[in-house]
């Protein structure tokens, strides 16, 4: 099976390749802009994206909408994560949490998959952790240097496979793989 990953973010594609190639699914990276409505639910963004891209003639693709939800900031940046990263950056987010002891946060990922003639698959994954007090590590992308699932090592200090084993995207991809397997068997 071959699926296009429609995203502007090459870091996501690397994680998809690492997780899905073992299942014999080939991933192809494509950039194809689509409207992301400003709603407070990742699923809704993904459902909307699937419809829009299909109406433009795309077939056999996945899209991914993710966000970082910080508890003491009442879930901010959440669905505004891409904008917050562009404007505030990791250091701006760290400054918002200056002196804050309660640093719990959750990463969420919602994946939508559209295949020709098949019902859409929409799955989610999440990962609990904390916002560190400074950036740690050089790997990964986005918020990886400031997010840690265990309060010690950041995602940016892990390899792709180690991150996938516990991350929001890794968990959503496992759910996707399961749903694809079921639909192929059924
Ligand atoms: P798309 O084209 O796929 O939308 P994007 O980078 O804008 O790419 P999202 O809106 O899903 O993706 O992500 C919101 C922000 O959260 C964005 O700045 C990402 O870099 C960041 N992000 C998403 N997943 C992440 C992860 O696993 N680790 C660190 N940051 C992540």
Q: Are 137 and 156 in contact (CB under 8 A)?
A: yes
Q: What is the pLDDT of residues 86-128, one digit of tens each?
A: 999 999 999 999 999 999 999 999 999 999 999 999 999 999 9
* Number of domain units in the chain: 1
Ligand 1: residue whose CA is nearest its atom 17 = 82
Q: Can you give the pLDDT at residue 150? A: 97
Q: Are 63 and 54 in contact (CB under 8 A)?
A: no
Q: Which domain holds residue 149?
A: 2-185
Mean pLDDT of the chain, nearest integer: 95
Q: Which residue of 81, 111, 131 sits with most ligand 1 atoms within 8 Å of its CB, as the best mutation to test the pocket?
A: 81
- Distance, in Å, from the CA atom of 106 to the CA atom of 141, rounded to the nearest integer, reads 16
For residues 65 and 45, give the distance between their C-alpha atoms in angstroms, rounded to a whole number. 7
Calculate the CA 23 to chain-centre distance. 20
Q: For 147-180, write each residue's pLDDT tens digit.
A: 999 999 999 999 999 999 999 999 999 999 999 9
- The residue from 65, 116, 144, 150 that is catalytic is 65
Pairing label, strands 61-70, 104-114 = antiparallel
CATH number of 131's domain: 3.90.950.10
Examine the pLDDT at 56 and tell me if it is beyond 90: yes
The C-alpha angle with vertex 114 and arms to 122 and 84, in degrees rounded to 5, equals 60
Indicate the pTM of the whole model: 0.96
CA 121 to chain CA centroid, nearest Å: 16
Rounded Cα distance between 65 and 52, Å, is 15
pLDDT(186) > 80:
no
Catalytic residue list contains 41: no
């Amino acid at each position: 099976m071959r699926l296009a990953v429609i995203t502007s973010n090459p870091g996501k594609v690397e994680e998809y390749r690492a997780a899905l190639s073992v299942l014999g699914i080939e991933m192809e990276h494509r950039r194809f802009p689509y409207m992301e409505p400003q709603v407070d639910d990742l699923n809704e963004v993904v459902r909307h994206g699937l419809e829009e891209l299909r109406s433009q003639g795309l077939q056999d693709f996945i899209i991914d909408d993710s966000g970082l939800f910080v508890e003491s900031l009442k879930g901010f940046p959440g669905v505004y994560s891409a904008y917050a990263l562009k404007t505030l950056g990791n250091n701006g987010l760290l400054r918002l949490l200056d002196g804050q002891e309660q640093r719990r946060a959750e990463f969420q990922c919602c994946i939508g998959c559209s295949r020709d003639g098949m019902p859409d698959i929409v799955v989610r994954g999440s990962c609990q952790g904390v916002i560190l007090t400074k950036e740690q590590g050089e790997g990964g992308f986005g918020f990886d240097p400031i997010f840690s699932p265990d309060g010690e090592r950041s995602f940016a200090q892990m390899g792709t496979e180690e991150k996938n084993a516990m991350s929001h995207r890794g968990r959503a991809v496992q759910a996707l793989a399961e749903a694809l397997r079921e639909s192929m068997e059924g």
